[in-house]
Structure 1
Amino acid sequence: MGAKYDPARIRLANYPFALTMQPRFGDMDSLGHVNNVAIAALFEEARIAMNRALLGANHGGLPHERRPLPVVAARVEIDYLGEVAYPGTYEVGVGIGRLGNTSILQVCGLFEGETCLALCDTVIVHRSENGPAPVPERVRGVLASMSFPASAQVPAGSGA
């Protein structure tokens, strides 16, 4: 059975943003591995870090309103490719997989060195009081600069 993900996803260099992270002792399961919920939290923290780095502390909301851009996570999908151990230091790569009219697909990979241990796709929906609303142009422009893959170059011998 072949991989159901794009092979470009398992290369940290393809992600335009990366955050170094360390799981906590309390993140371990009974087998001594970092548990699935903690891995989801690492992905969430990295996504938020990218959003804050790009859009500011209020995630692109209007500064005078002092409230974040109104978004909600509509879907989170995680593929576990290897075991994540405690203690350890990991890199979480983040990029924008797709910008829709009202939604944003953020793609992430969790790496130990060059080895990808997990992948995460999260669909974020921009909201108004009446439901989904178009992503503001100023936010779209900033997020577009973080498209995945970070480089459109195809490695030699990849067959693409």
Structure 2
Amino acid sequence: MARPEPALLDAARYPFVVEITTRYADMDPNHHLNNVAMAALIEDARVRFNTANDFRAAMGGMGAMIASVAIDYLAQGYYPHPISGYAAVESVGRSSWTLVQLMVQQGQPVAFARSVAVGIAQARPAPLPDAFRTNLARVTLRG
């Protein structure tokens, strides 16, 4: 897979950041953070992003599900250094939105992820409520 556009590797473009502690169990035999552990760190940052922005309340009783996740592994991550998880909304559709995430360790990008989430009502995709769209607009990718 091709490396993400250089502009997406600029942490200053992301309105949200959280520091996540790595665990000994995240290491592979070569003392790198393994790919499954990195996927879990990305998920952790995504959930913290959603919680910090009170998305559940803004959904007005609707649910959401992740429809796709793509991860580019850019460099090795190492235990015990923490990971900074950056996140931003990249785009918004009628019933879905795309989130981009940049994972940085010791100033170096180690992973990039793009996830598509879909608003769900009555077990089907549904248009996103206006209040939710307003919340998403506050945390879009800068510049």
With normalisation by structure 1, the TM-score equals 0.82
Aligned position for 1:21? 20
Q: CA deviation at 1:38?
A: 1.1
Paired with 1:130 and 1:91, the residues of 2 have a C-alpha distance of 34
Superposition RMSD in Å: 1.8
User: Larger Rg: 1 or 2?
Assistant: 1
Identity across matched positions, percent: 32
Q: CA deviation at 1:31?
A: 1.6
Distance change in 2, residues 1:14/1:106 (3 Å): same
Task: Specify the code of the residue in structure 2 equivalent to 1:16.
Answer: P
Aligned position for 1:74? 67
5 Å-filtered alignment, 1:11-160, equals 11-55=10-54, 58=56, 60-62=58-60, 69-148=62-141, 150=142, 152=143
Find the residue that maps to 1:41 and give its secondary structure: helix
Moved over 4 A (4+): none
* Unmatched tracts of structure 1, length 5 or more: 153-160
Distance change in 2, residues 1:61/1:147 (3 Å): closer
Task: Specify the code of the residue in structure 1 equivalent to 2:134.
Answer: G
Paired with 1:83 and 1:144, the residues of 2 have a C-alpha distance of 33
* Unmatched tracts of structure 2, length 5 or more: none
Find the residue that maps to 1:78 and give its secondary structure: strand
How many residues are paired up? 143
Paired with 1:124 and 1:101, the residues of 2 have a C-alpha distance of 11
With normalisation by structure 2, the TM-score equals 0.91
Deviations 1:68-87 (A, max 9, x none): x4111110000000001011
Q: CA deviation at 1:4?
A: 4.1
Q: Does 1:5 align with 2:4?
A: yes
